[in-house]
Amino acid sequence: MPRKASRKTPAKSPDIRTVAALAKVSIATVSRTINGSPVVSERLAKRVWQAIHELGYLPNTHARTLVSGRSRLFGIIVENITNPFFPELIQSFEEVAVAHGYEILVSSSNSNPAILTTCVRRMLERKVDGVAVMTFGEEEPVLDQLMHRKIPIVLAEFKLQDPHCSTILLDYRSGIHAAVRHLAGLGHRHIAFLAGPHTLHSALTRENDFRAAMKTAGLPIQKNWIVECDHTLKGGVNGFDQLQALATRPTAIVCSNDMTAIGVLRAAFMKGLQVPKDLSVIGLDDIDFAEFTLPPLTTIRLSRADLARAAFEALRQQAEDPSNPHLQREFLVSTSLVMRGSTAPPVAD
Amino acid sequence: MPRKASRKTPAKSPDIRTVAALAKVSIATVSRTINGSPVVSERLAKRVWQAIHELGYLPNTHARTLVSGRSRLFGIIVENITNPFFPELIQSFEEVAVAHGYEILVSSSNSNPAILTTCVRRMLERKVDGVAVMTFGEEEPVLDQLMHRKIPIVLAEFKLQDPHCSTILLDYRSGIHAAVRHLAGLGHRHIAFLAGPHTLHSALTRENDFRAAMKTAGLPIQKNWIVECDHTLKGGVNGFDQLQALATRPTAIVCSNDMTAIGVLRAAFMKGLQVPKDLSVIGLDDIDFAEFTLPPLTTIRLSRADLARAAFEALRQQAEDPSNPHLQREFLVSTSLVMRGSTAPPVAD
DNA sequence: GATCGCAATAACATCGTTTTCACACACGCA
DNA sequence: TGCGTGTGTGAAAACGATGTTATTGCGATC
């Protein structure tokens, strides 16, 4: 029975010394017990744990970090936290990180290099053990800061020749090819692509994969049917408007991400077009919202959980076992088409 | 091996000693310079800053925290990071925090007390200077942990009798009254309310304000037109379905948040109902998506930026100036109706 | 010209851990 | 009995900053 020592306000939270005193051992033994060192005898370990619980003792991570040199903190920088893809990614990343005893530091760069720079700086100050850079953009100059200090990095889609940098390759091919095949099967020949900003690696890759898929399907690519727009709701609206202004219009639009696709849905509605009767739309990401648009969005699924797991694993390996010769430097996450209600055969001309 | 030829230095990042040596001053002077102490002569300060830049020195926050007792870290716990309201809130909170030299630790409790407990524990370990608990729920038992350790807390909507706890009152009245008035003006008499889960303070407050508004407008409240559902897309679908199962149906639905409203939009569409012709819908929050639903959602705006600023300010005051006698313990954030396309006069009976 | 006062700087203890190293002790073996 | 040989523990030195206290330099005072 834990006897409650009725002390007056202890004012300070208990530290390792308090625990040691209560358990009648040295602080070294307490430390070893907490960290699961095998050399502590069971008899003492039991006493120590009891004291820890009795006091509600929590180790001070700052002191710990200071001496061990490891913070058990991973940074994650996302492109834009306002795009639901990223909160979902963060959530998964946090889950797996916490399960392994890590904490995460989240920052959103808003595709702004200046902000990205301050994010990196702050993470450096907090001595993160690694950073997941999920911005999909041209961040090399900033990354130098990290590489120079030999902080493990994991990037998406972009390989960096650095011993502390891993990459997660996103295989859009499967998903995008399936999407184009699906549209072609429905009878579409006039397919447009709403590309993301060319400053993003992901946008470029997606666009290239779209071109390849069209070629494979034997479909012509019309130059001004590939339009560049922001990966946002508004971007989708603008992209759609550009397409509508054309003399000949596509019967289907594949979008570089779900946000633009939802923007297209909205813009088409405003123009009196009915999706999918008058226009087929396909997104990419499969954010939670995609299932709830009007009509439900057919989209190419990119698993946040898979991406998050890969990113964490890449960081963990580098942080905990940097000298391992067969450390995995490349990870692969694939995509697939999920069919909902935003695609249908084109209206007969 | 691309290792740089720096065998002499063990590749350690520069510390305060390095700076002191380069600037030929004591480490105390470096520390004072960094912290803007006025007692350092300009001559030395200049030398110190130059050395700092030359070395790319960044102070170690852990060492700093250890001795100063302040981490300059604020925790923010949100109900559900998957609801776009919260990322937007986090973004604003991060902005203002960073501007004041604070870092933030984000966690999502997913309305799960067990998860909330571990969030709090992790924040305690990281020695946060304060926690913004934006879960709107029944978290008192968990909060005890924080109060007991005298960590500043800021809550939304719920007052706690504790010297280290501030509250942000959300004034839904103005917005909800405007919404009901708006519907009444359109001719609606049969108005339903999709309430959030009764475990959330916010849901309760919103529901009560709705009842009051209906009374003020002289409209009857029918008991089974107030239905409780999750604050999620799916929750909205379920809520709508329940309402549809009723013998007499409302002509308008006010929702406890935008996610449920968007769910209603989706469910109505699936049932062949046209919004706003057949049914008017009003949401609450005004998340970015609300402008892009079909039709665009009329909703009650609750400013994330205002809420974030208030939360930060509450925490900052308590953390930096706890003995100030006129420390502000209560903050107010108001709401307002923003009209879009999801409301219209009811069809004539 | 020695003493005082004050400003600027340095020395040093401190924060709460981990980790290294030394020691005490029991054990088997010559 | 004396001597390694492991075990399990504890004492003490880091870790990198911040205060607090001591020291220095220097002009003003009597």
Which two three-digit tokens encode residue B177? 């009254």
* Cα B308 versus chain centre, distance: 6
Judge whether residue A41 has pLDDT over 90.
no
Query: Helix B140-148 crosses helix B113-125 at what angle (to 10 degrees)?
Result: 10
Q: A60 and B66: CB-CB below 8 Å?
A: yes
Q: B291 and A233: CB-CB below 8 Å?
A: yes
Which residues have CB under 8 Å from B58's CB, separation 6+? A121, A124, A125, B13
- Strands A330-338 and A298-302 come out as antiparallel
Distance CA A100, CA A72 (A): 9
Chain B residue numbers with beta carbons less than 8 Å from the beta carbon of A124 are: 58
Judge whether residue A11 has pLDDT over 60.
no
Torsion sign across C-alpha atoms A174, A176, A179, A183: negative
Chain A contact present for B24, CB below 8 A: no
Confidence of residue A10 (pLDDT cuts 50, 70, 90): very low
Judge whether residue A235 has pLDDT over 90.
yes
Instruction: Give the distance, in angstroms, between residue B230 CA and nucleotide D27 C1'.
Output: 76
Distance CA B108, CA B115 (A): 8
Of A161, A97, A100, the C-alpha closest to A132 is A97
pLDDT value at residue A51 = 93
Comparing alpha-carbon positions, the chain A residue that sits nearest to B121 is A58
Q: B62 and A91: CB-CB below 8 Å?
A: no
Q: How many CB pairs under 8 A join A and B?
A: 121
Distance CA B267, CA B149 (A): 47
Q: What is the CA radius of gyration of chain A?
A: 26
Torsion sign across C-alpha atoms B107, B112, B113, B115: negative
**Cβ count near A136 (within 10 Å):** 24
Closest-lying nucleotide for A32 based on CA to C1': C18
pLDDT value at residue B349 = 52
Indicate the residue of A62, A124, A263 with minimum beta-carbon distance to B66.
A62
Confidence of residue A348 (pLDDT cuts 50, 70, 90): low
Chain B residue numbers with beta carbons less than 8 Å from the beta carbon of A13 are: 149
pLDDT value at residue B5 = 30
Percent of residues, chain A, with pLDDT higher than 90: 79
DSSP structure string for B278-318: T-EEEEEE--GGGGGSSSPPEEEEE-HHHHHHHHHHHHHHH
Choosing among B289, B291, B342, which should be mutated to test the A contact, i.e. which has the most A CBs within 10 A? B289
CB A208, CB A171: distance < 8 Å: no
Residue type, B179: A
Confidence of residue A6 (pLDDT cuts 50, 70, 90): very low
Instruction: Give the distance, in angstroms, between residue B21 CA and nucleotide D27 C1'.
Output: 30
Give the model confidence (pLDDT) of A83-125 as tens digits.
Answer: 999 999 999 999 999 999 999 999 999 888 899 999 999 999 9
Instruction: Say whether the peptide bond before residue B325 is cis (omega within 30 degrees of 0).
Output: no
Which residues have CB under 8 Å from A195's CB, separation 6+? A203, A206, A207, A210, A226, A227, A228, A229, A256
Q: Nearest CA of chain B to the CA of A14: how many Å?
A: 10
Chain A residue numbers with beta carbons less than 8 Å from the beta carbon of B74 are: none
**Measured distance between the N- and C-terminal CA atoms of chain A, rounded to whole angstroms:** 83
Chain A contact present for B94, CB below 8 A: yes
Of A61, A21, A22, A23, the C-alpha closest to A45 is A23
Confidence of residue A141 (pLDDT cuts 50, 70, 90): confident
Query: Helix A16-23 crosses helix A42-55 at what angle (to 10 degrees)?
Result: 120
Q: What is the pLDDT along chain B (349 residues), one digit of tens a residue?
A: 232 333 333 457 888 999 988 988 888 889 999 988 777 778 888 888 999 999 999 999 999 999 999 999 999 999 999 999 999 999 999 999 999 999 999 999 988 889 999 999 999 999 999 999 998 876 778 888 899 899 999 999 888 888 899 999 999 999 999 999 999 999 999 999 999 999 888 999 999 999 999 999 999 999 999 999 999 999 999 999 999 999 999 999 999 999 999 999 999 999 999 999 999 999 999 999 999 998 999 999 999 999 999 999 999 999 998 888 788 999 999 999 999 999 999 986 5
Secondary element (H or E) of residue B45: helix B42-55
Chain A residue numbers with beta carbons less than 8 Å from the beta carbon of B107 are: 94
Distance CA A299, CA A282 (A): 5
Instruction: Give the distance, in angstroms, between residue B37 CA and nucleotide D26 C1'.
Output: 22
pLDDT value at residue A3 = 28
Indicate the residue of B61, B66, B265 with minimum beta-carbon distance to A125.
B61
Q: Nearest CA of chain A to the CA of B54: how many Å?
A: 14
Look up the protein residue whose alpha carbon has the minimum distance to the C1' of C13: B67
Distance CA B31, CA B24 (A): 13
List domains and CATH numbers for chain B.
16-59 (1.10.260.40), 70-171+304-334 (3.40.50.2300), 173-301 (3.40.50.2300)
Secondary element (H or E) of residue B241: helix B233-244
**Strand ranges, E, within chain A:** 73-78, 103-108, 130-134, 153-156, 165-171, 191-195, 226-228, 252-255, 280-285, 298-302, 330-338
A40 touches strand D (CB under 7 A): yes
Chain B contact present for A68, CB below 8 A: no
A29 touches strand D (CB under 7 A): yes
Q: A163 and B60: CB-CB below 8 Å?
A: no
pLDDT value at residue B43 = 82
Chain A residue numbers with beta carbons less than 8 Å from the beta carbon of B65 are: 62
pLDDT value at residue A286 = 97
CB B213, CB B176: distance < 8 Å: yes
Chain C bases closer than 7 angstroms to a protein Cβ:
7-12, 14-20
Q: Nearest CA of chain B to the CA of A220: how many Å?
A: 32
pLDDT value at residue A151 = 94
- Say what the alpha-carbon torsion angle A315, A317, A320, A321 is, to the nearest 10 degrees: -140
Distance CA B239, CA A192 (A): 38
Choosing among A7, A15, A81, which should be mutated to test the B contact, i.e. which has the most B CBs within 10 A? A81
- Per-residue b or e along A177-195, where b marks 16 or more CB atoms closer than 10 Å to that residue's CB: bbbbebbbeeebebbbbbb
Chain B contact present for A65, CB below 8 A: yes
Q: A87 and B82: CB-CB below 8 Å?
A: yes
Secondary element (H or E) of residue B76: strand B73-78
Distance CA A74, CA A128 (A): 5
| C-beta within 7 A of nucleic chain D, residues 63-122 of B | 63-64, 66-68
Per-residue pLDDT, averaged over A217-242, amounts to 95
pLDDT value at residue B181 = 96
Comparing alpha-carbon positions, the chain B residue that sits nearest to A14 is B149
Query: Helix A27-34 crosses helix A42-55 at what angle (to 10 degrees)?
Result: 90
pLDDT value at residue A2 = 32
Chain A contact present for B35, CB below 8 A: no
Interface of B with A in 172-231 (CB under 8 A): none
Give percent helix, percent strand, percent coil of chain B, each to the nearest 5: 45, 20, 40
A63 touches strand D (CB under 7 A): yes
